């Protein structure tokens, strides 16, 4: 597990974007795994800026997102499909039909989980997966206690996760109670993973990830089992991790 220390959120965003841009230029037909939330927004802004200024093309790139809320149609402003379109896809030359998220409005969630998992397999897995990390160690929406061998599944969101996401909604009551998410095994099938973290609120989670052992009560610790993981985090997020790590 490699650690890249950055000065602050903006530096983290620039360095992460640079890794993605270099990968896209080397492998124009790659499959890119993406995340939502406030952490990757700066990265996406950097990708858009580079595309506009330097012409990096995403025309042949395929994307797969980690998760989606259940019960929100794609047009809902709080859906992750809406987030990805407005924060990234609408500003690149990517083909929207090559951008994939779970369907949170599907009638049969069991069938949707199988469909999405098969989609990832049909793409021959993910070349580079971008992750954030929750305060309780969740990756995607895989909450504590999720089996490391899990595949795409429906999850009941922890109260702490709903509270953390309530800032995007009118009230916590509006935050969906369930989501559909790639499983931990689905994530670990990615060839390369970068995990982003910024701010002191993530410091304890990063400390536990770096210093702890794999434990299903701390989902991100599964990344210890992967051969190619890079943590890109700012000084505040790494404040509880020794400088020599």
The residues that are catalytic are 67, 136, 138, 143
How far apart CA 197 and CA 201 sit, in angstroms, is 9
Beta bridge partners of 180: 68, 154
DSSP calls for 196-223: EE-SGGGHHHHHHHHHS--BTTBGGGGG
* Residue with token string 């200024």: 53
How far apart CA 245 and CA 242 sit, in angstroms, is 6
How far apart CA 179 and CA 202 sit, in angstroms, is 22
CB atoms within 10 A of CB 177: 13
* Residue with token string 């052992």: 213
CA 14 and chain centroid, separation: 17
CB 79 within 8 A of CB 72: yes
């Amino acid at each position: 597990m490699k650690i890249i220390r950055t000065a602050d959120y903006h530096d983290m965003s620039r360095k992460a974007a640079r890794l993605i841009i270099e990968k896209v230029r080397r492998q124009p037909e790659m499959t890119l795994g993406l995340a939502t939330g406030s952490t990757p927004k700066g990265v996406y802004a950097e990708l858009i800026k580079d595309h506009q200024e330097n012409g990096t093309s995403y025309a042949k790139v395929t994307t797969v997102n980690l998760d989606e809320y259940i019960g929100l149609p794609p047009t809902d402003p709080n859906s992750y499909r809406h987030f990805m379109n407005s924060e990234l896809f609408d500003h690149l030359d990517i083909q929207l039909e090559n951008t994939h998220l779970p369907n949170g409005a599907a009638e049969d969630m069991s069938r949707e989980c199988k469909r999405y998992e098969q989609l990832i397999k049909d793409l021959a897995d993910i070349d580079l997966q971008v992750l954030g990390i929750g305060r309780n160690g969740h990756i995607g929406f895989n909450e504590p206690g999720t089996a490391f061998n899990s595949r795409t599944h429906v999850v009941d969101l922890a109260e702490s996760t709903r509270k953390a996401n309530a800032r995007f909604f009118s009230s916590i009551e509006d935050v969906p109670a369930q989501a559909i998410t790639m499983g931990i095994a689905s994530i670990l099938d990615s060839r390369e993973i970068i995990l982003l973290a910024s701010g002191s609120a993530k410091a304890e989670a990063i400390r536990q990830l770096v210093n702890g052992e794999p434990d299903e009560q701390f989902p991100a610790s599964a990344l210890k089992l992967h051969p190619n993981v890079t943590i890109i985090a700012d000084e505040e997020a790494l404040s509880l991790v020794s400088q020599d790590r």
